[in-house]
Structure 1
Amino acid sequence: MAAPAPRATRTAPSPWSRVVGAVVLLTVIISVLLTAFAWPSVRSSVHDVPIAVAGPPAAVQQLRATIDQRQPGAFDITEVADTTAAEQLIRDREVYGAIDLTSGTPQVIVASAASTAVAQTLQSVAAGLHRQPGGSPSTARDLVPLPADDPRGAGLAAAALPLVLAGLLAALLLTRLVAGTVRRITAACAFALTGGLAVAAILQFWLGSLDGAYWANSGAIALSIAATSLAVLGLESLLGYAGLGLGAVTMMLVGNPLSGTSTAPQMLPGWSGSLGQLLPPGAGGQLLRSTAFFDGHGAAGPVVVLATWLLLGVGLCLAGHLRARRGGGTEGVPAQPVAVAA
């Protein structure tokens, strides 16, 4: 005769101190999330945005004084002799736009592909020059416009978060599904290549959010995904699940909000814009703008940042591998379900 199945024991209620602790922890988490994503947007303003001013020295100095009076600290002005020099600085991504005084009538030259927010700010400056007593009507010209299918740059801005998530998801899945350091690194690089090809195809051929060479855009996206995924993989290899958490916080809560992809790094509060450009999300966004709209100009800095994170991730993976071998542990083995006998 079969023995009756044992009754399930009732779990004792948690102590109230644990309930209070859970509530406090959740409150801290939501506060940190809100601060990470809302603070850069709410505190964004124009400060030290590099622009060029072309024209006679006397006219340039007068305009500089006017701008400093109306918007102190807003622009970092580079004086050039003529319109050609100003346009070259824009194409080289040295400045975001220019004010041309060479013809007597102020003309504002913008590059909406570099930043729609800065372009709008310069257009408001043009309107302000027109409203001055005795001022001549000023015009605005977009030297490097966004694609006609996406004139607001919504696709490029919206792609920033999925690219970060792709790198984090790759690291998480590879630690669970793939054993072996070399195999994990190979899988991360292979996914970066295929992911770069897929994302660039969607943004460029379907949504129309990118211009430029498809292969260059694919390479920029692939390098961004590889830098994120390998950095997080390296942290996990060395620190375990704590490394996964550290990598996720660094890329998601710090790197993504401070990337400046939707506005410009110079519009983020204080030092945060400079910090964001040293992390893969910010460097990846700037690199993609360079390849898509500026023929690769301004790409050197972001490439160095992304390559540094990629190599750092590979180095951490190898360090974790060597430590596991010295300790006699099983390195790079995915977690397996454990059967529990009743």
Structure 2
Amino acid sequence: MTTEAHAADRRRPPLIAVITLLTAVLTVFLIAFAWPSARSEPRNVPLAVSGPAPAVAQIQAGLEQAMPGGFEITAVPDRQAAVQRIEDRDAYGAIVLDAAQPEVLTASAGGPAIAQVLTQLSTRMSAENSGNPAKVTDIVPLPKDDPRGAGLAAGALPLVLGGIIAAAALTQLVRSGAQRMIGAITFAVTGGLALAAVLQYWLGSFEGSYLGNAGVIAMSIAAISLTLLGLEWLLGTAGLAFGGAVMMLLGNPLSGMTSAPEMLPSGWGTLGQLLPPGAAGTALRSVSFFDGAGAARPLVVLACWLLAGVALCGLGALRSRGRAVPARHEASAVAA
């Protein structure tokens, strides 16, 4: 027993290696979650501007000087056109250069952080034109029960954890691969219905169709859990750990649900929208507050992840079958 204990002790890594690894993991978690927020600022935010051409050019130059690269300006003929672009999710807000009273249009439901930036912009416009203060109008406001959008922002983590926990539990508790897939899909449906009910009917964070909101959440959970199940089927525990780390350390911080994809560091916001949490967040905003406008692309992304998860599970099943056939032949030979 003493010899075995000494051998086990020799196989254990030294204490300094364990501490170094834990420190590295902690640092990675801090960077993943704090860096996007610390570097959050407008980057090519779509903004509509209505007014005379010289005034539009002046506003564009002023915005570029104040926030270089912060806004992507599109000139529109009138206020109605600006409102339409906001409702279609082609712009986060608009500036209407009316001679009587300038107006800044926001859509806090599309991104509270950007709406706050535009509100601050209206304050600056009012200071520059003290005799003609700018008016602020929220075209698509957040619900009265959740005026800061805290419920939707906090919902990003449960979406990711739901998929990861489902995959981890099913791989440990269910032996059949087919039953794991059925379990993941069933859990995604029940989880989507439950989370949507809490966010919409209890916290008041959602509006629009309850089934539509639940469907988006279910697609997100299913996309994550099926992908992780497929990776585990193919690569074992390492595949499950790798997939979970990608969803947690990249998908969640880069989802843009706490601000907007255009507020994240350049390139990272785009990457976040190609992962299930980011696509789910954008689709939820579109379905809940904008009657589905702008939901097509994120729903396609979620559908692609769903298909990828099913494909990975299929490859895992083929690999398992390929391993089972030689094992059966070997057992038959030994019996003979």
- Normalising by structure 2, we get a TM-score of 0.92
Q: Which residue of 2 aligns with 1:303?
A: 299
The counterpart of 1:33, out of the listed 25, 29, 32, is 29
Cα deviation for residue 272 of structure 1 reads 0.7
**Cα RMSD (Å) of the superposition?**
1.9
Q: Which residue of 2 aligns with 1:335?
A: none
Once the two structures are superposed, residues 218-241 of structure 1 have per-residue CA deviations (whole angstroms, 9 ceiling, x without a partner) of 111111111111111111111110
Structure 2 gap ranges (5+): 328-336
Cα deviation for residue 96 of structure 1 reads 0.5
How many aligned residue pairs are there?
A: 325
Q: Which residue of 1 aligns with 2:213?
A: 217
Q: Which residue of 1 aligns with 2:265?
A: 269
Once the two structures are superposed, residues 278-324 of structure 1 have per-residue CA deviations (whole angstroms, 9 ceiling, x without a partner) of 00010011111111100000000100110101100100001010011
The counterpart of 1:254, out of the listed 250, 254, 270, is 250
Q: Which residue of 1 aligns with 2:58?
A: 62
Contact 1:83 1:102 in 2 (8 A): no
Identity in percent: 53
Cα deviation for residue 181 of structure 1 reads 2.5
CA distance 1:103–1:217, shift in 2 (3 Å): farther
1:319 pairs with 2:309: no
Once the two structures are superposed, residues 238-283 of structure 1 have per-residue CA deviations (whole angstroms, 9 ceiling, x without a partner) of 1110111111111000110111100001111121100000000100
Report matched runs for 1:1-342 at 5 Å. Answer: 11-12=5-6, 14=9, 18-132=14-128, 136-328=132-324
Mapped to 2, the partners of 1:56 and 1:227 lie a distance apart of 48
SS in 1 for 2:324: coil
- Normalising by structure 1, we get a TM-score of 0.91
Higher relative helix content:
2
SS in 1 for 2:132: coil
CA distance 1:14–1:327, shift in 2 (3 Å): closer
SS in 2 for 1:37: helix
Mapped to 1, the partners of 2:326 and 2:114 lie a distance apart of 52
SS in 2 for 1:327: helix
Q: Which amino acid aligns with 1:176?
A: Q
SS in 2 for 1:98: strand
Q: Which amino acid aligns with 2:289?
A: F
Mapped to 1, the partners of 2:13 and 2:220 lie a distance apart of 44
Mapped to 2, the partners of 1:122 and 1:51 lie a distance apart of 10
SS in 2 for 1:136: coil
